[in-house]
Chain A
Amino acid sequence: MENFDVIVVGGGPAGLSAALSAAHAGMKTVVIERGDYPGTKNVMGGILYTKATDMVVPEFWKEAPLERPIIEQRLMMLNGDESIMASYRDPVWASEPYNAHSILRVKFDRWLAKQAEKAGVMVISETLVEDLLYKGDNVSGVRTGRAEGDLGAKVVILAEGVNNFLAVKAGLAKPLKPESVAVTVKEVIALPKETIEDRFCLEEGQGATIELYGDSTAGMMGVGFIYTNKDSISIGVGAILEPLIRDKWTPNDLLEYLKAKPYVKRLLQGGETKEYLSHLIPEGGYTQVPKLHRQGVLVVGDTAMLMNSLNREGSNLAMISGKIAGEVAAQSIKTGDVSDQAMAVYETRLRDSFVLKDLFHYRHMGEFFANNPHLLKFYPELFTKAINLYLTADGTPKKQRQKEIIKMVFENRSMGDFIKDIYGAWRALL
């Protein structure tokens, strides 16, 4: 049996970041990936955040296969064919130090794995890790699906993605529940570069994102998204599994429902679908974060439920958690102490960083939206109605119109209800 200092299970951003930092600290490190090569099993929207990635591979933007730097973010609220939009643009984000890029994970993860290999990491592909190996109570390595496929390690880092098989087997996580995952489907739709730039008002090479709320998910808790790539658009929609089952939607029908919205349809017109993808997003939030460590094991990325859905940040939380895990693993191995107590430094460092601070900050959010399903139906309806009334020039004097709007607002919901919603939103989001 071959022995390593660190075995990383899974070649996504979390796992590869962990492997890079472990290797930089001199550890004999291996990444075990079940796909043909790192990337082929991996899906996200996908937005990659510059700061976090730069901390893992300095100045990565000079070489990495990126799609477009994001200079504009739009937020839309849909109600039937109506829409309200807010957007923010800063062209400065098209140049260094950037804020975020759109990426396609097959290309990007493959590149990131190459950086890990350059740093001395061994990458074993087409290999599924089936269980951890133990010596007594101590973790001593992993069992893979290959013949004579046992590998020894001082520390195993679980970066297996949202499907947390090994973390459950190791007693760290619980099986996921329909309330804590969003079923997400996406299409990559090819369009000429110039068409994308014209439709999104972009200079050459620049990118934009749109998040769509409300009727984009037929009022279910979730979000639609549209991201510009170099010569394609990624469009997707995710909804929490529990309401999706209750409302009897199929994910593909929901995506087609979003694609048929007038504003969306026109953005995609004439495009050719190149790929249809699906993935789960871990939406459990702070309260569903598993145990992050035990003797000889650390849990990172999606497996650790490290996802901030409100700000659609996930890849950055994954990479920072991975980087810290690799460092803590190396430090523990060097001092010869991989006990649970030594591993706990990982959790302390996550708590000191934005990763767990952000999750803690939004800890009431999931419950708030789950308990107030009217929010994503009632408010888009109310806001679009009010704006429609206000903007319709039909000869009604404006003073009278404003009174009508206020009357309409309070016909549907009492002052007390509004205060309750606002207080709830305040507590959940601010």
Chain B
Amino acid sequence: MKLDDKLFLVRFNTDKASHIKITDSNVCLQQCQDKPCTRFCPAHVYDWDEEEKRIAVGYEGCLECGTCLIGCPYSNIDWKYPRGGFGVSWKNG
């Protein structure tokens, strides 16, 4: 089963503003060869945008596990919890 189909099953109360920021996009472009965030995020929130030369952040699909905050080798992802009442809302847990 494809990840996109699985994410379609998840319920979200999406906030208008993102709760995730890339602190310095130059770090992604110039220092980070491997871009592991594009793999380790279970929801594939992070994707390398080759045209824009930056990491595109699909915060709307964030499952709020916190992996990115710990896994980014440059501590370049400023990940916080969404505002109270927003974000993922599990049906089963």
Q: Real complex partners, A and B?
A: yes
Residues on A lying within 8 angstroms of B by beta carbon are: 34-36, 39-44, 46, 104-109, 125-128, 144-146, 162-163, 165, 175-178, 181, 183, 185, 187-188, 232, 241, 244-245, 248-252, 256, 273-280
Q: Which residues of A contact B6 (CB under 8 A)?
A: 187, 252, 273, 276
Could you list 13 examples of A-B contacts with CB < 8 Å? A36-B85, A39-B90, A40-B93, A41-B87, A106-B91, A108-B93, A163-B69, A183-B40, A183-B42, A187-B6, A252-B42, A275-B90, A277-B92
Contact partner of B9 (CB less than 8 A), chosen from A46, A178, A274, is A274
Contact partner of A41 (CB less than 8 A), chosen from B9, B70, B71, B88, is B88
Q: How far is the CA of A46 from the CA of B85 in the complex (A)?
A: 24
CB pair B84 A144 closer than 8 Å: yes
A274/B7 contact (C-beta < 8 A), A128-B81, A181-B70, A185-B42 known:
no
Verify if B20 is at the interface (C-beta below 8 Å from A): no
A275/B10 contact (C-beta < 8 A), A39-B93, A106-B92, A125-B85 known:
yes
Q: Which residues of A contact B17 (CB under 8 A)?
A: none
Excluding A36-B85, A275-B92, 16 further A-B contacts by CB distance (< 8 Å) are A35-B89, A40-B89, A40-B90, A42-B90, A43-B93, A46-B93, A108-B93, A126-B85, A128-B84, A181-B67, A183-B40, A241-B40, A241-B70, A276-B3, A277-B92, A280-B66
A42/B84 contact (C-beta < 8 A), A181-B70, A276-B7 known:
no
Interface residues in B9-67 by Cβ distance below 8 A to A read 9-10, 13, 36, 39-40, 42-44, 63-67
Q: Which residues of A contact B90 (CB under 8 A)?
A: 39-43, 105-106, 275, 277
Shortest CB distance B66–A (Å): 4
- The chain A residue with its CB closest to the CB of B43 is A278
Shortest CB distance B76–A (Å): 14
Q: How far is the CA of A107 from the CA of B93 in the complex (A)?
A: 8
Q: How far is the CA of A19 from the CA of B55 in the complex (A)?
A: 42
Q: Which residues of A contact B44 (CB under 8 A)?
A: 250, 252
A276/B9 contact (C-beta < 8 A), A41-B64, A177-B70 known:
yes
A250/B40 contact (C-beta < 8 A), A36-B13, A106-B91, A276-B9 known:
yes
Q: Which residues of A contact B69 (CB under 8 A)?
A: 163, 175-176
- The chain B residue with its CB closest to the CB of A259 is B1
A251/B93 contact (C-beta < 8 A), A163-B66, A178-B71, A278-B63 known:
no
CB pair B84 A276 closer than 8 Å: no
Q: Which residues of B contact A127 (CB under 8 A)?
A: 84-85
CB pair B92 A104 closer than 8 Å: yes
The number of residues on chain B lying at the interface, defined by a beta carbon within 8 Å of a beta carbon of chain A, is 35
Shortest CB distance B19–A (Å): 10
Q: How far is the CA of A43 from the CA of B92 in the complex (A)?
A: 8
Residues on B lying within 8 angstroms of A by beta carbon are: 1, 3, 6-7, 9-10, 13, 36, 39-40, 42-44, 63-67, 69-71, 73, 80-85, 87-93
Contact partner of A163 (CB less than 8 A), chosen from B81, B89, B93, is B81
CB pair A276 B10 closer than 8 Å: yes
What 10 A-B pairs have minimum CB-CB distances, sorted nearest first? A126-B85, A105-B93, A276-B6, A278-B42, A106-B93, A251-B42, A163-B66, A127-B84, A128-B84, A278-B65
Interface-central residue, B7, B63, B67, B69, by most chain A CB under 10 Å = B67
Q: Which residues of B contact A178 (CB under 8 A)?
A: 70-71
CB pair A250 B39 closer than 8 Å: yes
CB pair B81 A34 closer than 8 Å: yes
CB pair A274 B91 closer than 8 Å: yes
Shortest CB distance A90–B (Å): 28
Q: How far is the CA of A248 from the CA of B40 in the complex (A)?
A: 8
Q: How far is the CA of A39 from the CA of B81 in the complex (A)?
A: 16
Q: Which residues of B contact A162 (CB under 8 A)?
A: 66
Interface-central residue, B6, B71, B90, by most chain A CB under 10 Å = B90
Q: How far is the CA of A126 from the CA of B85 in the complex (A)?
A: 4
- The chain B residue with its CB closest to the CB of A247 is B39
Q: Which residues of B contact A185 (CB under 8 A)?
A: 42
Q: How far is the CA of A28 from the CA of B9 in the complex (A)?
A: 39
CB pair A176 B63 closer than 8 Å: no
Interface-central residue, B1, B80, B89, B93, by most chain A CB under 10 Å = B93
Contact partner of A251 (CB less than 8 A), chosen from B9, B40, B70, is B40
- The chain B residue with its CB closest to the CB of A182 is B67
